[in-house]
Amino acid sequence: MEGANVQTIKVTNLHYSISEAFLLEEFATSGEAEVLSVRIIKSKDGPKHGFVNLGPEHTLEAAQAIADAMNGKVLNGRAIRCILTDSRIVNVHPVKIENLTRQITTRRLTAAFSDCGPIASAIVCNTRRKNQPYAYVNFMDESGAENAVLTYHQQNVFGTKVSVTKMPQ
């Protein structure tokens, strides 16, 4: 596979019972995806997440269309979230932002935090439940993550005082 342009979709909010084989089948039967591999990572603190690697024949636009089509699909009682990742990014520096307003969107969050440094990806979670929404922003370099904590921790962002913490890589 050396030199092939493999597209990767990150899948979050997976039910604990979801297996790699099950997730592979769900993507493979979506009608659009030729799946090379699936990897699921178990979390101590919550739902599992996974990575779906698509075949090299998928363009960036086709991979985004697959991620969009699968986003929100309910698997074992949970609506999964799918985001296309940049497979060229090896190390990202994540921060978690808690206590966000319900009106937050990934686009607004990315725009607000982009002044801290270049962002690889961002996702807003828990917008439909009773608990406060939270988000993850992955910075391309460590200084971006550090700037985010220094700039926004315990500050008012879109009407609420947020908590911003660096996460382990």
**Which residues lie closer than 8 Å to 111 by C-beta, 6 or more apart?**
none
Residue with the larger pLDDT of the pair 75 and 44: 75
Q: Using CA atoms, how far apart are residues 56 and 58, in angstroms rounded to an integer?
A: 5
Tens digit of pLDDT for each residue in 93-105? 889 999 998 888 8
User: Using 50, 70 and 90 to split pLDDT, how confident is the model at 3?
Assistant: very low
Tokens 């807003």 sit on residue: 124
Percentage of the chain lying above the pLDDT 70 cut:
83
pTM: 0.51
Closest CA to 55 of 41, 28, 35: 35
Residues 6+ away with beta carbon under 8 Å from 145? 93, 94, 95, 116, 117, 139, 166
For the chain, the average pLDDT equals 82
Sign, Cα dihedral of 124, 28, 61, 90:
positive
The pLDDT tens digits for 49-89 are: 888 888 777 777 888 888 888 999 999 999 999 988 865 54
| C-alpha 44 chain-centroid distance | 17
Does residue 1 have a pLDDT over 50?
no
More confident call, 114 vs 119:
114
Beta bridge partners of 94: 138
- φ/ψ (deg, to 5) at 90: -90, -50
DSSP structural state of residue 1: -
